[in-house]
A and B are shown apart, each in its own frame.
Chain A
Amino acid sequence: MTTDILIFGQLTDITRQSKLQANDMPDTDALLAWLKAGYPALESAKFVVAVNGQVIQQNATLSAGATVALLPPFSGG
């Protein structure tokens, strides 16, 4: 089971790419732990997490083919 991960804004400075894939992630907590292990700078970055287009406020189960987005705040104007 794969999960697509979309990375927005300057979080791509950390991940170096705007799309990632993860395998066999049961929920968003597991996915975020996996991401932070691979990209430690994500630990201190601010962003909200959306699963299939819905921003979540707590751990959410990931079904097959889920898309997770990491959305940071932008400041420019």
Chain B
Amino acid sequence: MNQDLSYERYHRQVILPGFGEQGQRQLADAHVLVIGAGGLGCPALQYLVAAGVGHVGIADDDVVSLSNLHRQVLYTTDDIGKKKAEVAAQKLQQLNPGVVFTTYTERWQQQHCLDFFGAYDIIVDGTDNFATRYLINDACVLLNKPLVYGAVSQFEGQVAVFNASLPDGSRSVNYRHLFPQPPKADEIRNCAEAGVLGVLPGIIGMMQATEVIKLITGIGQPLVNQLLTYDALRQTVFTVALPPATAQAQGVPVDTGAFLQTNYEWLCGVMLDASLEISFGELKQMPHETYLLVDVRERHEQPRLTGFERIEIPMAELETNWDVMEGRQVIFICQSGKRSMQAALRLKEKFPEGEVYSVRGGVGGMMNGELGIRNEE
């Protein structure tokens, strides 16, 4: 690091009480891996790089799409279609040439944790799905890495520091202590399905960066054994204390061998049977008098589907409504094609002989198709 340049660059934080040149040196020596360079990852990365974290890993297999830009403000319209990890590293390098970047553009899987976590001091979870969140949590537990967790839902966000090293040599609670088993895929909707206020992941990602800086420099009190919930609509913060871990969390694989054998997508119920999927185009071709179209979204979800005869049965009400589907050719639709796939799999379980389909991409995909927008997961 160029000492003259960095003196001025970091001056405003170096003069902070308790931070000093030592804090700056600790940041420069730190290795932080941010998994997911999206709504949470972008702001976390921007502030960590600006603050002078010396080595930054960026993992994301996705490309920039138009519907990302209302919240992922590191990217511009010209970046659409480019690999997020690569674009992010390029822009962040301009922000701070002193930082060393490593990019990972493959889908993050168990083996990546075993191969690469060793090179990092702190892992930041900026992912957007339960399968990867549980995978990263379990890897952090098995490989003894602190995990800075952040997640958003519509107008609310959560932040916590999991598996931090405590003075007595033990580890703080992790995600599995809080939620031992993942929710079913149809239980909690992601941003593509439920929506998210653009500034919200910005705020939560910055809170994650704050926790990383506190962990590295030792200032303040990181959110260890605590879960913070931020509500943008009321501008309130609600922090709860988590009971300290007295035993290993249920559900964490016993060792790295068992970890490699774990099928996280299956665990999170995001299995999919492609033979049950039809495209929106195929749906339009089918004679409407032969099938029963079932919209499994919540009744308030927009846009409502027009131009199709359909019935509305939100996921939570399916179990009490199977009788209306018995003996019919049933086509399920939702916002993104995820919940409708779970509904189709459940109906198939219920009536193995029945003919059942799920509309790929859902109503969101249909809207994107009509507007000429690339469909986003």
A interface residues with partner B (beta carbon < 8 Å): 6, 8-10, 13-14, 41, 44-46, 48, 50, 53-57, 69, 71-77
Contact = CB atoms under 8 A, between A and B. Distances in A.
B40 A48 contact: no
B238 A69 contact: yes
B301 to A, nearest CB: 10
B128 A77 contact: yes
Nearest to B128: A77
Interface string B187-224: 11111001010000100000000000000000000000
B138 to A, nearest CB: 15
Nearest to B299: A13
Contacts of A74: 151-153, 156-158, 188
B229 interface: yes
B127 interface: yes
Interface residues of B, number: 43
A50 B243 CA distance: 10
Contacts of B125: 77
Chain A contact residues, majority secondary structure? mixed
26 contacts: A8-B238, A9-B154, A14-B316, A44-B316, A45-B187, A46-B179, A48-B179, A53-B239, A53-B240, A55-B178, A55-B227, A55-B242, A57-B243, A69-B240, A71-B227, A73-B130, A73-B179, A73-B183, A74-B152, A74-B156, A74-B158, A74-B188, A75-B133, A76-B151, A76-B153, A77-B126
A41 B316 CA distance: 6
Chain B contact residues, majority secondary structure? mixed
A54 B128 CA distance: 27
Contacts of B156: 8-9, 74
B179 A76 contact: no
A75 B128 contact: yes
B41 interface: yes
Interface string B126-166: 11111001000000000000000011111011100000000
